[in-house]
Amino acid sequence: MSRRNRWIWVLIFMVIIIPALRIEAKQDPYAAKKKRMSDKVRRMFYHAYDSYMMYAFPHDELKPLTKTFTDSLSELGNLRLEHLPQEYNGSALTLIESLSSLAILGNHTEFEKAVLWLSENLTFDVDARINLFECNIRVLGGLVSAHILATDSTNRLGKGMYKNELLLLAEELGKRFLPAFDTPTGLPYAWINLKHGVMDNEITETSTSGCGSLILEMGALSHLTGDPRFESAALRALRKLWSMRSSLNLLGTTLDVETGEWIEYSSGIGAGVDSFYEYLLKAHILFGREEYWRMFQSAYLAVQKYFRHGPWYHEADMRTGRATFWQLTSLQAFWPGLQVLVGDIAAANSSHREFFHVWQKFGVLPERYLLDHQMLHPTEKYYPLRPELAESTFYLYQATKDPWYLEVGESIVDSLNLHTRVEGGFASIRDVTTMELEDHQHSFFLAETCKYLYLLFDDSFLVNQNYIFTTEGHPLPILSSWHERLPVAYIPSNWTSVKSEYQPKRASAMSLRMCPANCGNELLQSACHIPDFRVDHRCLTDEDCGIDSTSCRRRSCSMAGFCGLWLSI
């Protein structure tokens, strides 16, 4: 096995994915707590799921206060079920989103019933305008993941009962996506009609996430079907998007798919951009392509340099790096989880604690909080049962085994039960200052929020398994057969300096591709941190100085002979 492949598996087993549990002589002191909390989360999931099945199925999502339904995919596309009346517009979205959660909970009977029902009823041959990004992560991702789970040794359905129907549905949906990529730039339209393709006078504006977060689902579909068109289309779009970055390696938030010009130059790590960063790293893990790593490494260091302010991340202009908006958005809470995957544990813990502090302040995490004014955004005070804080808590506990994260998870569970549980399911919060409820139970509550909370307390599903989770929480297995082969002689150039007898430890944790906690006696404080050559920080030239752990800026040698951030003073 080459060096290049070895680091992937080391990171997978040690940090990224939960390693096989070892039987230890000493009993886990938190076993009883984990069992109690996993049972509580299980009850939460089934309260939400059973309420959906009773009051909303086979429509898209549940309205828990009135015990009715909403066909939320009317915004994404009305995916009719062929055996239902013509006027019906539901797609059983919540059922599709719940498939992998049912498998993780070990409910093989309900998983089998759901798979067979969808196999017999779901069709995409409809005159419907759908949002490509949302339909990709929710429907295509849900189907691909469920197909893999339906055919593995743990969840395999009864002999002869399942004949790859979900994969066939996913392939059909993928083919209906392809016309969206037929643009001068290769960047896909945000909206497409499943029957007629791109409509006349279709809007040409899309987001960075919308055209840069398709590679996991479409890449997996290509590997499963042998049809390279899906992965090729998503990769072409990703490459074009990356070519549009600024000289600072920053991207904007929205762009025009026909001209390839940016519309909104300000961006951060939240809405409109978040999953772009996530998919660069996860695509590298899933497919092993070095190109994804190079993109992610450059993008991550740029984020740390221009967006990070202590534990917070503000927004900045991609052209200048100057701060534009100082605000916390709930979607940013995914970032610590991503930092765990790259091994930046200290930075992840720092940001996660601040997000949890805001959660404790309001009881849940508001959609937007103005950091510069220390106040809620006047119109975005809601909490729609988002999963991002639970997701990051799960990853940090797996990386550190610090029981404090179990306490965080328990607090999240208690808050959800206290503030959002109603007789008909779980309701979103319209205003976090009054806890006024909104009549909507989003499908991602079952696909992600409950899933990550359950895995925090019971990770048995992941024993002897290696998965990554898509941005919608659907697990995809890490398979060597999906990995790009590299020459045995491949050695990254930045490893050469690490082995230098005269310049020890002259590389960052990121360039070494290892968790900072494994860097010997000296703990690297972040993935970009490079220590000064001398422990007393004395220097003769700038080459004796490293890279600052907080700002990711290069330190320089002063006239007095000490390393520091002198050029920024």
User: CA nearest 217: which of 289, 132, 140, 287?
Assistant: 140
Segment among 70-74, 348-352, 466-470 with least mean pLDDT: 70-74
β strands within 435-557, DSSP E: 436-438, 467-469, 475-477, 556-557
Residue 160 pLDDT class (50, 70, 90 cuts): confident
Task: Give the confidence band of 155 by pLDDT, cuts at 50, 70, 90.
Answer: low
Task: Name the nearest CA neighbour of 478 among 16, 2, 1.
Answer: 16
* Separation between Cα atoms, residue 309 and residue 480, nearest integer Å: 39
Confidence of residue 511 (pLDDT cuts 50, 70, 90): low
439 catalytic residue (yes or no): no
What pLDDT is attached to residue 8?
52
Strand runs (DSSP E) across 8-167, as ranges?
Answer: 61-63, 68-70, 129-131
Residue of 134, 315, 472, 532 marked active site: 134
| Res. 373 pLDDT band, cuts 50 70 90 | confident
pLDDT at 499 exceeding the cut of 50:
no
Strand partners, 206: 255
Q: Is 151 exposed, middle or buried (0-12, 13-18, 19+ CB in 10 A)?
A: middle
What rounded mean pLDDT belongs to the chain?
86
367 in catalytic set? yes
Identify the pLDDT of residue 69.
93
Residue 526: per-residue pLDDT: 62
| CA atoms of 439 and 274, how far apart (whole Å) | 27
Phi-psi region of 435 (alpha: psi -120 to 50; beta: other; left: phi over 0): left
pLDDT value, residue 493: 32
Give CA–CA dist 162/545, Å, rounded: 61
Catalytic residue among 71, 231, 344, 367: 367
Q: What is the pLDDT of residue 106?
A: 94
What pLDDT, on the 0 to 100 scale, is given for residue 502?
Answer: 38
- pLDDT band of residue 555 (cuts 50, 70, 90) is confident
Handedness of CA 550, 551, 555, 559 (dihedral sign): negative
The pLDDT-based confidence of 166 (bands split at 50, 70, 90) is: very high
Token pair listed for 522: 């000296």
User: Would you give the DSSP letter of residue 562?
Assistant: B
pTM of this structure: 0.84
Rounded average pLDDT over 235-262: 98
The active-site residue out of 274, 315, 472, 532 is 274
- Give the model's pLDDT for residue 32: 95
Asked if pLDDT for residue 420 goes beyond 80, the answer is yes
Helix residue spans in 189-289 (DSSP H):
208-212, 215-225, 229-243, 274-287
Residue 129 phi/psi, 5° resolution? -90, 120
Residue 232 CA neighbour count, 13 Å, CB half:
7
- Over residues 73-90, the pLDDT tens digits come to 654 444 445 444 444 456
| Active-site residue (options: 60, 71, 171, 388) | 388
> Rounded distance, CA 114 to CA 310, Å?
46
Is-catalytic flag, 388? yes
- The percent of residues above 90 in pLDDT, for the chain, comes to 69
